[in-house]
Amino acid sequence: MTTPPSGMSAITTVFQRLAPGDHVILPAAVYSGLRDWANQHGRLWGLTFSFLPDFDASAVAAAILPGKTKLIWVETPSNPTWIVSDIEAIAEVAHAAGCLVAIDSTVSTPILTQPIAHGADIVIHSCSKYLNGHGDLIAGAAIVAPGKEHVLKEMAALRNAYGGVVGSFEAWLLLRGMRTLALRVKTSSANALKMAQFLQAHPAVEKVLYPGLPSHPQHQIACRQMNGGFGGMLSFRLKGGENAAKSIAAQVRVIRQAISFGSTETVIEHRAGMESADSPTPRDLLRLSVGIENIDELIADLEQALNSVIG
Ligand SMILES: *Cc1c(COP(=O)(O)O)cnc(C)c1O
């Protein structure tokens, strides 16, 4: 394992190992910071990218360019629509073609999913989120599977060369935060499931995106791959469109309107407004990071805001 100074630093170190001309396959619904990096910087470095709208093992198999594709990037559940990818199935087709598989497991955390046990070669986390859990530091982590030590060595050398080293104070704070990781993740997951069930029944809500709901298209994969909960992140789309979404985000009182996630406190965000103009994120979508507060207070807060948009 290595500890870069941010999640983005962990991600770019994985890509910096590649050589100009190498090809990478990613989901179209991927963390926007990575999509922007790939389009603006990765391409200049000579990498080529296939962003797949329907990202699953058969789509990955069809997109592999023999001898050119070196890395399959998976984010599960993926931000901000929480699509779940079957790590085992993707690893099988990737390994058959000699590609490495990297998983961004920031949202699932090591508590709910252990991607290496499902066949991943590299796992990255933004520790700025759940691992720290208190919204007061930026750090990252990259972990490689047994037998892939040469990859770890290359990444450590890159971090040394580029100066991507976490500060000692941040490392100390992170160790403090990680002591309660299991408790926080389980409580957030239980709260998020209750919140998702409440939202699904509210007349202002068009659709709830949460892997823990049986209506989620990859619920069965999530049941196999996530143990002990489905995470604290969910999104919902409003019948009243973008205006209703923005109005709700402005009217919550207990929940706070803020970027980032994975902290003890519940935050809401109009995600499309935060991403670049070419973002595929629906404009009627609100993203919720459900924290560890009393769930009845959180639901009551969101209920008064939702009721205000249906008059
Ligand atoms: C936040 C985030 C990142 C980037 O992490 P930073 O620590 O903010 O650089 C990467 N992947 C996912 C899924 C994230 O949510």
Atom 7 of ligand 1, residue of closest alpha carbon: 7
Q: 87: closest CA among 70, 99, 71, 75?
A: 75
Q: Which atom of ligand 1 is nearest to the CA of 127?
A: 7
Ligand 1 atom nearest residue 9's Cα? 9
Closest CA to 125 of 1, 268, 42: 1
And the tokens for 20?
Answer: 């100009």
Ligand 1 test: best mutation among 9, 78, 79, most atoms within 8 Å of CB?
79
The reported pLDDT for the residue numbered 278 is 77
Tell me, in angstroms, the distance from the centre of ligand 1 to residue 203's CA.
33
**Residues near ligand 1 (Cβ within 6 A):** 6-8, 31, 33, 75, 79, 104, 106-107, 126, 128-129, 138, 140
Nearest by Cα to 290 from 182, 191, 186: 191
Q: CA–CA separation, 205 vs 217, rounded Å?
A: 18
CA of 126 to the centre of ligand 1 (A): 5
* Domains present along the chain, CATH in parentheses: 7-177 (3.40.640.10), 181-307 (3.90.1150.10)
Per-residue DSSP letters for the chain? -B--SSHHHHHHHHHHTS-TT-EEEEESS--HHHHHHIIIIITTTT-EEEEESS-SHHHHHHH--TTTEEEEEEESSBTTTTB---HHHHHHHHHHTT-EEEEE-TTTHHHH--GGGGT-SEEEEETTTTTT-SS----EEEEE-TT-HHHHHHHHHHHHHHT----HHHHHHHHHHHTTHHHHHHHHHHHHHHHHHHHHT-TTEEEEE-TTSTTSTTHHHHHHH--S---SEEEEEETTHHHHHHHHHHH-SSSEE-S---SSS-EEE-GGGGS-TT--S-TTEEEEE--SS-HHHHHHHHHHHHHHHH-
**Per-residue pLDDT, 311:** 67
Nearest to 124 by CA among 196, 165, 178, 74: 74
How many angstroms separate the Cα of 201 from the Cα of each of 194, 276, 291? Answer: 11, 32, 21
68 φ, ψ (degrees, to nearest 5)? -105, -35
Chunked into runs of 10 residues, the chain (311 residues) has average pLDDT values of 89 96 96 94 97 96 98 96 97 98 98 98 98 96 96 94 93 97 98 98 98 97 98 98 96 94 97 82 96 98 96 67
Of the candidates 131, 181, 125, 101, the one whose C-alpha atom is nearest the C-alpha of residue 2 is 125
Q: Is the dihedral of CA 2, 4, 6, 11 positive or negative?
A: negative
Q: Which residues of 154-190 are buried (b: 16+ CB within 10 A; e: fewer)?
A: ebbebbeeeebebeeebeebbeebbeebeebbbbbbb
CA of 137 to the centre of ligand 1 (A): 12
Mention every residue, 6+ apart, whose C-beta is less than 8 A from residue 134: 173, 177, 263, 264
